[in-house]
């Protein structure tokens, strides 16, 4: 039994991986478990991500949970004092201030669960994800299945010719590939 003076310590959990690896699915699963336990939750996503919905976090399997779209991570600091769990989807699309915001929330005793791509389409660390993983108490890397050979996939290969860092899309624009198939695909494009 916890005494009234005991305050649960906060933490940061990161779920990362390639496109189609189940990151959002895992985020939703953790948040729904918290809801089932009668914990107060707040869910955020970048306003730029409106692929399936403007106001919901939606997995590729169309599981969904209501969220608040925001442009600036600092908006998360305005949560009600009774919020126990904060969920963040597509964390890679936020700027570096996300790391400090997550630290502040965890220091307040909030469990922060952030899901996002760990690397971009070029295989480079993406946005604030490396720093967020470094300060997290728990990091879970999930994997897709390579569409070429069936191995574990950890790369998001872009099928379109765009060189923009952020290109929202689904299976029409991205495919999950293992390291070997990704390197072969990149070499063929050059």
Q: Which of 90, 137, 170, 175 is catalytic?
A: 90
Q: Which two tokens stand for residue 121?
A: 């389409």
Alpha carbons 60 and 90: distance in angstroms, whole number? 13
- Ramachandran assignment for 90, one of left (phi > 0), alpha (psi -120 to 50 degrees), beta (any other): left
Alpha carbons 41 and 65: distance in angstroms, whole number? 11
Work out the widest C-alpha separation in the chain, in whole angstroms: 63
Alpha carbons 29 and 45: distance in angstroms, whole number? 16
Alpha carbons 75 and 105: distance in angstroms, whole number? 12
Q: Based on the residue annotation, tell me whether 13 is a catalytic residue of this protein.
A: no
Q: Which two tokens stand for residue 12?
A: 């940061």
Q: Label the pairing between strands 111-117 and 11-17.
A: parallel
User: What positions carry a catalytic annotation?
Assistant: 90
């Amino acid at each position: 039994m916890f005494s009234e003076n005991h305050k649960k310590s906060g933490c940061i959990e990161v779920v990362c991986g390639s496109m189609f690896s189940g990151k959002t699915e895992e985020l939703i699963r953790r948040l729904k478990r918290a809801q089932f336990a009668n914990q107060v939750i707040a869910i955020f996503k970048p306003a730029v991500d409106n692929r399936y919905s403007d106001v919901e976090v939606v997995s590729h399997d169309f599981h969904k949970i209501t969220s608040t779209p925001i442009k600036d991570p600092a908006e998360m600091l305005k949560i009600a004092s009774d919020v126990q769990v904060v969920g963040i989807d597509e964390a890679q699309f936020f700027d570096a201030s996300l790391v400090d915001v997550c630290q502040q929330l965890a220091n307040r005793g909030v469990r922060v669960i952030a899901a996002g791509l760990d690397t971009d389409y070029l295989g480079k660390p993406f946005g604030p994800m490396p720093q967020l993983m470094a300060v997290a108490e728990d990091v879970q890397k999930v994997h897709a299945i390579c569409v070429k050979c069936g191995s574990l996939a950890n790369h998001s290969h872009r099928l379109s010719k765009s060189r923009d860092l952020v290109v929202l899309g689904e299976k029409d624009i991205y495919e999950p590939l293992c390291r070997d198939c990704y390197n072969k695909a990149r070499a063929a494009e050059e």
